[in-house]
Structure 1
Amino acid sequence: MVELTIDGNKVEVPEGSMVMHAAHKLGLYVPHFCYHKKLSIAANCRMCLVEVEKAPKAMPACATPATNGMVVHTCSEKAVAAQKSVMEFLLINHPLDCPVCDQGGECQLQDLAVGYGESASRYKEEKRVVFHKPMGPLISAEEMPRCIHCTRCVRFGQEIGGIMELGMLHRGEHSEITSFVGRAVESELSGNMIDLCPVGALTSKPFRFEARTWELARRRSVSPHDSLGANLVVQVKGDRVLRVVPFENEEVNECWISDRDRFSYTGLYTEDRLAHPMVRDASGQWHETSWSDALQAVVRGLNQVREEHGAEQLGAIGAHTATVEELTLLARLTRSLGSDNVDFRLRCNDPALDSALPGVPWLGMSIEEFSRLDRVLVIGSFLRKDQPLLAQRLRQAAKHGTRIAFIDSAADDPLFPVAARQTVAPAGIPNALAQVLVAWAKANQQEVPEAFASVQPSEQAGQIAASLAGGERVAVMLGNMAVSSPEAALIAANAQALAQAVGGRLGFLTPGGNTVGGYLAGAVPQAGGLTAEQMLRQGLKGYVVLHAEPAFDSDHGAQAVQSLKNAQFAVALTSFHSAAAEWADVMLPIAPFTETSGTFVNAEGRTQSFKGTAAPYGDTRPAWKVLRVLGNLFQLAGFDDETSETVRDTVLVDGIQERLSNQVTGPIGLGQGAQGLQRVADVPIYRSDALVRRAEPLQQTAASRAPTARMNAATLQGLGLHDGDAVRVRSAHGEAALKAELDPAVADGALRISTAFAETLPLGSSFGEITVERA
């Protein structure tokens, strides 16, 4: 520790700290633009000049190391004169367009100019002109003359996003921030550059000219889109959400959010939004109706199914973006009606996973512990797209020596160094894990499990085993694709055996904002009930569907829609008309996360409750209230809750941590493998749920481009195809016309074809064998 004095106050800071850090520890504000606590020090702007005794000139607080006995003055006459001089230079070329600037009212330059700027400029020459830059559908760079070259956006891309998408051209007064050869900024974290920009050079394109910042009400919320549960500030004008920005929470999302969290609000007020209850008549036509009539129609329809076919012909399907309260009442309603067919995991293809996992699967550690792991193996995950903020934490860990390995079916670049990797077709993942376990056992003179006696580890398996050696904090993480696999229970068992062998922990990178909460709410089948996949495959007579859009949210969307259409009665609790108009008999307009109170439980088991942030759209009602009223109309016990908090407290009272367990009871073994070409199906980051799919700016990004049949060069050559050829892809369920695309990242013997698109809906399941021929 070193001790110094700042403005007469003594302070101790760790060796290597800068004067800026010491000032912050004392609560002293030093004006600055380029400094940011999460970014490297650039010392570009010079606004933080301070007086250091015995130094010949003013020094930048952000780049001056603190030393023992140093005496610093941040607001002395000399320091303030230096700061005012810097401000004069910064304002020389800055345009006077505050009245039309979206940053107006929350602009650091505007604020500091009041304290350190002069009332008139001595600069009489022409201001420089910098042309606007194309940066894609999310970031507006239309007013680049405002840029003060703090390089926060450049450093963010390199250090946090992991990819240098912005840089600086030229020198001196001709310097310009620009994207690489005019390309769009495509990082899944790119929107944070908007928050970091201290002036109005980079602004939100969807928010452009929508409102002034002082007109917006700010309300806290929680993201429903991935398992981190990022904390948000939802900004509202009148009845509409106009902007979403991060709420800083160092334990969860730090000060970042993903673009999916930031821009999904643009899907809230589309023409597709369901505003009133609707009932389908005998001729198949939809009619708006009152809530009372719609709810009575639901009661009649479900009672008729029960009377004619028995309660076991009723099924309830939720979604991992539904709140704990909604899933609790959905499960309570279904079981009170006599059925145990309730599930929220529409992509779960292995019924054996429930019996293999008697506890609630979770991350297996806190997010803070996750950030401090030194050895990690990630299995079956499109990490950057599935879990963008957890991927960012691993990116920072890799800088400090964490070794990260992958077993996957598509070797996407995680934008950090990969210690080892084994890329295999989906059916080969259980055996790849077995190979790593055998390689570890042989390298450490341990006994090879009998089930793996015939396994010969590959070179890549040996490298993965070696990458896990020597760590004190080791974890084996199962991603979304691994959990969705038809052999998920076997993958989990093999992963647990490997984790135990290397002295690490098993964790689940769960999908959606409330997977852990869904388990805690009891929205999974118990006494012989059917999973969502079984309900939609076998076909039931009656369905209640909450928040889900089965065509794109389920693993076999076409089959799901057909089963729902064949049902005697189906009711959809949905926010969007097109999500259910094809198959439902009654559609009830329910609130998305911005218009309801509720609770999400993130992957680490953290309970995060929130209130509605905007007024309900049309006749929209919170889903938990709709389910409670349905329980009352059915005259069932246990539906007397007046607030969402009382529903939450019946589930999340005490002992959540005791219920979280990744203990796998199933046996280890080898997978069946597959002989033919296998499908690798990723869920693109902006196709993950109904709200995101309707966010037009996100659909304009490269991540949402139309699906293609992506394969490596060997597979392409083996099929006699060339990059760009039109092909016809067939599965056991149907066929799709796509374009072949060369992708070296895809495993041998596999085709990567994204799911959750209308174009790939006929192919059915995300797993299984497919054939390809030239169209």
Structure 2
Amino acid sequence: MSAQPVNPNLPPDHVTVFIDGVELAAPKGSMIIQAADKAGIPIPRFCYHDKLAVAANCRMCLVDTEVGGRSAPKPSPACATPVMDGLKVFTRNEKALKAQRNVMEFLLINHPLDCPVCDQGGECELQDLSLGYGRSVSRFVERKRVVPDEDIGPLVATEMTRCIHCTRCIRFTGEIAGTYELGGMYRGESLQIGTYDGKPLTTELSGNVIDVCPVGALTNKVFQFRARPWELIARESLGYHDAMGSNLFLHTRRGEVLRTVPRENEAVNECWLSDRDRYSHQGLGAADRATAPLRKVDGQWREVSWSEGLAAAAQILRAHRGDALGVLAHPATSNEEGGLLALLAAELGSGNIDHRIGNRDFSDAAVAEPFGLPLAEIEDADVVVLVGSNVRHELPLLHARLRKAQVNRNARIHAVNPVDFDFTFALAGKQIVPPSRLAQALGDTSLRQAAQEATRAVVIVGAIAENHPQAAAIRAAAREFAVATGAALCRIPQGANAVGLARAGVLPDVRAAGGRDVAGMFAEPRSAYVLYGIEPGLDFADTAAALKALDAAQVVAFSQFACESTRAVADVILPIGALPEIEATLTNLNGIEQVAHAAGKPPGQAREGWRVLRALGGELELAGFGFTDLAGARALLEGGRKVQVKPGSAGDVGQGGLELALVPAIYRTDAVVRRAAALQAHPLNRAACIVLNPADAAAAGLADGAMAKARGASGTAALPVEVDGRVAAGAAWIEGGHGATAPLGAGRVEVVAA
């Protein structure tokens, strides 16, 4: 006869445990430390992390346990001891405290006493716990061991003599990142944590090993020796380099952003952060930041006052109202700034406004839309179909969730891509085809059958598809696939706030004069343009057409950077703050509006974008610009702006040559990232090149490492060649965001020896 449960009223999958006399209900199979954490009862730990597998190797969480009146002969590790009905746990009795203090003494035997120079000082778990569990003197008088450091890249600094072998970093790179780059070498006291081959970390999530490290063994190389934690002020903000909108804290001192750390949000980024979001703040201090209004006078740039700069901008806009004006915004522009831009265009009588600056096919009038399945639920999918996406570089944390879905739920992931990209999950099936055949590949019978048989299927459409000249056909095929199979359709928004800007009406409106999309504005050039947050030499889909149209027009540029390409086309540059420097809201791929608070200060005379737009609207005496604060602007813009978007032109793939597979480069996505020196030094940031299938390279007489000329409809580029069998035959793989690849635009290229 089985024993009766202590509390028969509990659900059948729960048991009753007593921790320090507190009665708790805990799920069967869970560990003591999880029950204690849920109840707010502190248990010291180093190796345990609730997102990682249990290692039970630090032993700091030893507790005393008792079942049926019998005490366990030895202390038990709370992280690896499952709960059972009637279990009594003592975390602070003499037996437990003695065990915990002995473990702390062993941990400190070899740990260097270098807290005054350690970057982790002030936020070190070992430092904190040693205060409560450490001895005032050490009984160990032998020489401490020293571990040689290795350079693991430009992002993470190492001081492995401090390592306490908790293995959190090893488990993170293996379980979450999936790259297995860190491991343990040697045994016993000689154990060392490292990469073994001495190469830099290549995972796009490497900065998270800093967060999980409980000591100062792994620290932030960019932040190293710049400030102490108690000097910093934390401000809640958002990642703005992809559509996920990762939650984070910006740590500032005297208005300067010095560090970025994750802010936990299970529905978005859990407790992780991509390296792109973690280190991009370095770009805010670039040498070409726009710090004062600039005006071109007789072909020469000179700094002017705000009143003169605004007057010059207003003069241009007064002279080019209505259909003569085009307004273009970067897709990471905030909701408030985007809404005011749309209002500015409407008051000036122009319907020529757009934020879809990377798109090439407007024939279906498509705009960004929220995911068909919330981000957190994608990891519960059992079949995922990736279409035209290097998701690992586009949305690193979505890629991590897909890996999690495969590990936890045995999800079957299929890819339809022009390149067999490196993912950290296994593919159940793949079709590697030129981009123009992505739509056709979605009609594959076995692929559809796999999705139809799934309990929860997801189809994810990425940047290669969304920005292709035949994107409308691919989107239609993906939508048809989703309807036929019951899969949730998730189109990755092309920009951090593309969903929000679509809602705010930063789109061409047929009810106003013109109503042209970005391609239409360049095909039929306007006499004046407003550029907002755009680096014109690198951000447009068709760089050649954009620069030609802008060069012949008068241009007012609202910009964070007075870069060479902006100076080349603009007549007035009005300096504005970047997202870490302003109060703003962004709408992420879940369709959720999230708030970012100002952390850093805009440099010099730069101002928040909404303030500059308000001042310009006032200078132009436009209706609606009488508000005095951000709350007034938000009240004015509440509900967004409804527009009627007409279908535009379709892109032309062209004939002959090789079809371009244009993939966004992970660390060349926007102006701020391109200026973050540490990210530019990362191994994933490859130099511009053109990657060919071996058969295509042989046909063109090109070998690996040779220089080639790629001639496209928009221009010619000289690029080194890489030969790689992962590229589909008939396609050429290039990465966007590079000046060297910008002239190629889209469509097809003829590749010949240089």
- State the shift of 1:673 in Å: 8.8
Q: For residues 620 and 213 of structure 2, what CA distance do their matches in structure 1 show?
A: 55
Q: Encode CA deviations 1:252-278: one digit per residue, 9 max, x unaligned.
A: 111011001000000011211111001
1:740 and 2:721 are equivalent in the alignment: yes
Indicate which of 565, 580, 583 corresponds to 1:597: 583
Separation in structure 2 between the aligned mates of residue 602 and residue 406 of structure 1, nearest angstrom: 24
Match of 1:243 among 237, 242, 259: 259
Is the contact made by 1:297 and 1:586 (CA closer than 8 Å) also made in structure 2? yes
Structure 1 residue corresponding to 2:494, chosen from 491, 507, 511: 511
User: Which residue among 627, 630, 641 is the counterpart of 1:641?
Assistant: 627
Among 93, 105, 129, the alignment partner of 1:112 is: 129
Q: Contact 1:419–1:467 (CA<8 Å) still a contact in 2?
A: no
The Cα shift of 1:69 comes to 1.7
Structure 1 unaligned spans of 5+: 440-461
Partner of 1:620: 606
Residue deviations 1:19-54 (CA, integer Å, cap 9, x gap): 111111211111000100000001111100111123
Question: Which residue among 488, 498, 506 is the counterpart of 1:523?
Answer: 506
Q: Which amino acid aligns with 2:657?
A: G
Cα shift at 1:467: 2.9
Report SS of the residue matched to 1:72: strand
Using the alignment, how far apart are the partners of 1:393 and 1:261 within structure 2?
17
**For the residues of structure 1 that align with 2:277 and 2:411, how far apart are their CA atoms?**
27
| Aligned mates of 1:673, 1:285 — CA distance in 2 | 40
What residue is the counterpart of 2:338 in the other structure? 327
Is the contact between residue 352 and residue 521 of structure 2 (CA under 8 Å) also seen in structure 1? Answer: yes
Q: Is the 8 A contact 1:533 1:554 kept in 2?
A: no
Q: Residue 358 of structure 2 is aligned with which of 337, 344, 347?
A: 347
List aligned pairs for 1:442-457, cutoff 5 A. none
Task: Compute the displacement of 1:304 (Å).
Answer: 2.1
In structure 2, the residue matched to 1:761 is: 742
Identity %, equivalent residues: 43
Tell me the equivalent position of 2:207: 191
2:707 pairs with one of 726, 731, 743: 726
User: Pick from 73, 78, 86: which aligns with 1:69?
Assistant: 86
Query: Which aligned segments of 4 or more residues in structure 1 are displaced greater than 6 angstroms?
Result: none
Query: Which residue of the other structure, out of 234, 237, 252, is the alignment partner of 2:250?
Result: 234
Aligned residue type for 1:495: A
Contact 1:599/1:648 (<8 A) preserved: no
Cross-structure match for 2:560? 575
> Does structure 1 residue 275 correspond to structure 2 residue 304?
no
Cross-structure match for 1:318 = 329
Among candidates 298, 301, 304, match of residue 289 of structure 1: 304
Which deviations, in whole Å up to 9, do the C-alpha atoms of 1:659-679 show, x marking residues without a partner?
Answer: 99xxx999xx9x989653111
How far did 1:329 drift? 0.6
Deviation digits for residues 372-408 of structure 1, max 9, x if unmatched? 2222212111101111111111111111122221111
**Alignment correspondent of 1:92:** 109
Cα shift readout 1:280-320 (whole Å, capped 9, x = no counterpart): 002x11110100000000111122234xxxx2121000011
* 2:399 pairs with one of 391, 394, 402: 391
Output the CA distance in 2 between the equivalents of 1:645 and 1:160: 40
The offset of 1:651, in angstroms, is 4.2
TM-aligned CA deviation for residue 344 of structure 1: 0.8
SS at the partner of 2:567? coil
Q: Partner amino acid for 1:577?
A: A
1:546-565 equivalence runs, <5 A = 546-565=532-551
2-structure distance, mates of 1:140, 1:632: 50
1:628-667 aligned within 5 A: 628-653=614-639
- In structure 2, the residue matched to 1:455 is none
Distance, in Å, in 2 between the alignment partners of 1:674 and 1:92 is 71
Would you say 1:81 and 2:92 are equivalent positions? no
State the SS of the aligned residue for 1:468. Answer: helix
Work out whether 1:210 is the aligned partner of 2:195. no
Could you give the per-residue CA deviations for residues 119-170 of structure 1, whole angstroms, max 9, x where no partner exists? 11111111111111111110111x2100001111110001111111111110
Counterpart amino acid of 1:99? P
TM-superposition CA deviations, 1:466-496 (whole Å, max 9, x none): 4323212222221122111222222111111
- The 1-side partners of 2:410 and 2:498 are apart by 31
> Counterpart of 1:618 in 2: which secondary structure?
coil
Q: Is 2:242 aligned against 1:219?
A: no
Q: Aligned partners of 1:511, 1:85: CA distance in 2, in Å? A: 54
Is the partner of 1:228 in helix, strand or coil?
coil
1:5 to 18, 26, 42: 18
Q: Which amino acid aligns with 1:431?
A: Q
| Structure 2 residue 732 is matched with structure 1 residue 717 | no
Q: Give 1:450's aligned residue.
A: none
* Pairwise CA distance, 1:79: 0.5
Question: In 1, Cα distance between the equivalents of 2:423 and 2:677?
Answer: 26
2: CA distance, partners of 1:513 / 1:772:
34
In the alignment, structure 1 residue 501 sits paired with structure 2 residue 518: no
Aligned to 1:413: 422
Letter in 2 for 1:774: A
> 1:520–1:651: 8 Å Cα contact kept in structure 2?
no
| 2:373–2:489 CA contact under 8 A, matched in 1 | no
Counterpart contact for 2:542–2:714, Cα < 8 Å: no
SS of the residue aligned with 1:594? helix
CA offsets 1:716-741 (integer angstroms, 9 cap, x no match): 23333222222222212222222211
The residue type equivalent to 1:380 in the other structure is G
Q: Which amino acid aligns with 1:677?
A: L
Q: CA deviation at 1:653?
A: 4.4
Report if the CA contact (8 A) 2:368-2:493 is conserved. Answer: no
Distance 1:424 1:651, change over 3 A: farther
Give the whole-Å Cα distance in 2 for the aligned partners of 1:140 and 1:537.
Answer: 49
1:453 corresponds in structure 2 to none
**Residue 177 (1) aligns with residue 193 (2):** yes
Gap change, CA 1:523 and 1:193, over 3 Å in 2: same
1:529 partner amino acid: G
SS in 1 for 2:413: strand
Matching residue's letter, 1:376: V
Q: 2:76 aligned to 37, 59, 69, which one?
A: 59
Whole-angstrom distance in 2 between the partners of 1:733 and 1:514: 28
* Structure 2 CA distance for partners of 1:652 and 1:45, relative to 1, 3 Å: farther
Counterpart in the other structure of 2:7: none
Cα distance between partner residues in 1 of 2:411 and 2:636: 41
Q: Give the drift of 1:516.
A: 0.4
Cα distance in 2 for residues equivalent to 1:385 and 1:627: 34
Deviation at 1:104, TM superposition (A): 0.2
Q: 1:672 to 1:680 in 2, by over 3 A?
A: closer
Q: Is the 8 A contact 1:302 1:542 kept in 2?
A: yes
SS in 2 for 1:759: coil
Contact preservation (8 Å) 1:428, 1:673:
no
Answering whether residue 53 of structure 2 is matched by residue 44 of structure 1, we say: no
Structure 1 distance, partners of 2:525, 2:639, is 36
Q: What's the TM-score once normalised by structure 1's chain length? A: 0.91
Once the 2 structures are TM-superposed, how far is the Cα of residue 633 of structure 1 from its aligned partner?
Answer: 1.4
Q: Does 1:380 align with 2:388?
A: yes
Change (3 A) 1:700 1:672: closer
For the Cα contact (< 8 Å) 1:318–1:548, is it kept in 2?
A: yes
State the 1:95 CA deviation. Answer: 0.5
